Amino acid sequence: ALPTVAFLGLGHMGGPMAANLVKAGYSVAGFDPVPAAQEQATKDGLTVVASAAEAVRDADVVITMLPNGKLVLDLYDEILPAAKPNTLFVDSSTIDVADAREAAERAHKAGHRAIDAPVSGGVAGAAAGTLAFMVGGSEDDFATAQPLLDVMGRKVVHCGASGVGQAAKICNNMILGVSMIAISEAFVLGEKLGLTNQALFDVASNASGQCWALTSNCPVPGPVPTTPANNDYQPGFAAALMDKDLGLAANALRANGVEAELGLRAAELYHRFNTGGGGGLDFSAIITDIRARSTA
């Protein structure tokens, strides 16, 4: 028989992820404090209950998809005592590596199993069941979770021990944030020098400047017609989420004494862009900020 699932946090990501588990035949008890999320989850076939503790009572696997690490730790304190012994806790939220390790430790101390399994792929990937999962935890716990992760995602990678899934997520997104800024600076410099965006794209996309930020999420309209730049920078991957992820990367850089000037600077630039009103735009819209700050 399929394991019984509890899903806590039925927002933009968790809602469609849980719906895909129901479609695959899993019995899913859900909880979210927001009434609109409860209504949608009921329509999607979850059994929506009145509290997180009630949701986990009969669960073999508990999946959380929450905004931050403090909420995850507070919720774990509430639900770990309510779950059956040896329940597998899967946290798919994007949180601090240190919080992820603490969450797993608290679960282990309470007699449970735990992995961190953050995702990339956004709301569209959550709806389509094509997320990428990056997992930290033991081989056994990974193996137990894998069939469920395969339902919600297309690519599932076991990265290492507890917290290492979160580490993979923030390292990847640090590369992405830094490379998007680098690509944007190059386009703005090219514009000043009389180099068209298309000509720079034609050269760099076939040369050593090639990267995902250029060829799949090009920050200027034209060269790649499907990118958010061609649609007034509607996300896509919102700058507010890049700000969050780079903030987590910056915490980890400082906590581990890593000399990463570009990663820390990228965190500052995205934080400024987000708090300055750009947070709802795709993260490639950082080029508009760089252009606006560039004097003639």
Residue ranges that bind ligand NAD, judged by CB under 6 A: 8-14, 31-34, 37, 52, 65-67, 71, 75, 93-94, 119-120, 122-123, 241, 244
C-alpha neighbours within 13 Å on the C-beta side of residue 124? 5
Q: Is 85 exposed, middle or buried (0-12, 13-18, 19+ CB in 10 A)?
A: exposed
Q: Which residues pair with 93 in a beta bridge?
A: none
| Least separation in angstroms between CB 157 and ligand NAD | 15
**CB-CB contact of 256 with 171 (8 Å):** no
**At closest approach, how far in Å is the CB of 275 from ligand NAD?**
17
Strands 113-116 vs 119-120: parallel, antiparallel or unpaired:
unpaired
Instruction: Compute φ and ψ for 64, nearest 5 degrees.
Output: -115, 140
* Closest to ligand NAD by CB, 122 or 177: 122
- Residue pointed to by tokens 């035949």: 25
Taking the least distance from each CB to ligand NAD, the nearer of 70 and 84 is 70
Closer CB to ligand NAD, 80 or 241, in the complex: 241
Cβ-closest residue to ligand NAD?
Answer: 11
Residue with smaller CB distance to ligand NAD, 135 or 241: 241
In the complex, the smallest distance separating the C-beta of residue 107 from ligand NAD, rounded to whole angstroms, is 16
Q: Contacts from 173-176 at CB under 8 Å and sequence distance 24+?
A: 173/120, 173/242, 173/245, 173/246, 173/249, 174/245, 174/246, 174/249, 174/260, 174/263, 174/266, 176/212, 176/213, 176/242, 176/283
Q: How far is the CB of 247 from ligand NAD (least distance, A)?
A: 11
Known active-site residue 169? yes
- Which of 70, 169, 192, 244 is catalytic? The answer is 169
Which residues belong to the active site?
Answer: 169
